Amino acid sequence: MIDQLYRKAVLTVAERKPIEHLIRARGWGLAQRFVAGETIDGALKAVKDLSAEGILSNLDLLGEFIESPAQCDEFAQNVLNLLDAAHAQGITPYVSIKLSSVGQGKTEGGEDLGLKNARRIVGKARQYGGFVCLDMEDHPRVDQTLAQFRTLVGEFGAQHVGTVLQSYLYRTEADRNALDDLQPNLRIVKGAYLEPESVAMPDKADVDAAYRRLVYAHMNAGHYVNVATHDESIIADVKHFVLAHGVSKDAFEFQMLYGIRRDLQKQLAQEGYRVRAYIPYGRDWYAYFSRRIAERPGNAMFVLKGMLKG
C-alpha cells in the first residue's frame, strides 16, 4: 500500500510540466543510467557491451505522444529501421513493442492499425531470425493485446513473437491457461501501471505469490518463460524450482531492466543462466525514466542528488 502511494506521488509530480522541463533539460546525464542512448547506434553499442559480459538484449524504442495514424506508422518504420541496423551489424534482433505505439485501437482500411504495423515488424524480425515481444500495457488493452498476440503467433510462429502477463491482475492466471495451446513464449512481470483495486491486487505479498505461481505453471506446462524481475527472493525460489523439477537452463531466462541490478545480471550470467537486459533507447525517455524513479525511493534520491550537483 505504501509502495502504491509512493509510486502515485512520484508519477503525479513527474507529470507537472515545470518538473518535466527541468528534468528534460538537466536530467539526461542521470537518465543514461536507465536509457542506452538517444540513437540506434547508442542502443546497438549497449547490446555489444552487454554481449561481451554474456548478457543478451531486448531493445525497446521509447515513444510518447504517438497519436495520429501517421505518427504510428512513423514509429513502426523506426522499429523496422532498428531491425535492419541490428541485422546489418550482425546482431540477431530481439525487440519489444507497445501495440499502442504502432496504432492499436485505430482502424485503417477496416483493419486495426496496431495489428497491421505489428505484422510488418514481426515479419521483418522473422526474416532476420529475430523475436518481437508485445509489451503489456494498462488493463483496458489486455484483451486486444492477447487476441492480437494469438493472431500473430498463428501467422508467424511462437518462436518469433511473445507477450507479457502481469501478476498483479486478478485475471492473469486464467489468461495464462487460455494461452497454453499456443505454447507461447511469455514474459512474466509484476505489472508497472497504477491500476484500480477492482482489477489488480493492492497487496504486494499477493502480487509476489501470484508471480511465483505463474512462473511455475508456465514451466510445468513446458513452455519458455522469461522471468522478468529484480526480486532476489523470487529469483532464488525460481532457481530452486528449476533444480527440483529438472527444468533445463535453456527453457527459461531471467530478464531485468538496463541499468538496474547490473551486479545481479552479471552474477546470474556467470552462473550459467540466460540473462537478458531490456534496453530502452530513444529521444522520448522522460516517461520511462519517471516510471523507474517511481519504483524505488532510492532512485528518487539518486535524481535529487544529481540535480543538486548540477
Ligand X SMILES: Cc1cc2nc3c(=O)[nH]c(=O)nc-3n(C[C@H](O)[C@H](O)[C@H](O)COP(=O)(O)OP(=O)(O)OC[C@H]3O[C@@H](n4cnc5c(N)ncnc54)[C@H](O)[C@@H]3O)c2cc1C
Binding site for ligand X (CB under 6 A): 135-136, 164, 166, 187, 189-193, 228-231, 255-257, 260, 278, 292, 295-296, 299
Query: Is the Cβ of residue 146 or residue 257 nearer to ligand X in the bound state?
Result: 257
Instruction: Name the active-site residue from 187, 212, 274, 276.
Output: 187
Smallest separation (angstroms) from ligand X to the CB of 309? 20
CA nearest 258: which of 238, 277, 242, 272? 277
The helix (H) or strand (E) run that includes residue 275 is: strand 275-281
Query: Is the Cβ of residue 2 or residue 246 nearer to ligand X in the bound state?
Result: 2
CA nearest 165: which of 196, 201, 136? 136
Query: Is the Cβ of residue 149 or residue 278 nearer to ligand X in the bound state?
Result: 278
Smallest separation (angstroms) from ligand X to the CB of 300? 10
Distance CA 114, CA 102 (A): 5
Smallest separation (angstroms) from ligand X to the CB of 190? 4
C-alpha cell at 241: 524450482
Q: Is 263 a catalytic residue?
A: no
Query: Is the Cβ of residue 250 or residue 263 nearer to ligand X in the bound state?
Result: 263
Smallest separation (angstroms) from ligand X to the CB of 100? 12
Q: Is 112 a catalytic residue?
A: no
Angle between helix 286-295 and helix 297-309 axes, rounded to 10 deg: 120
Instruction: Name the active-site residue from 60, 135, 175, 284.
Output: 135
Question: Catalytic amino acids?
Answer: 135, 187
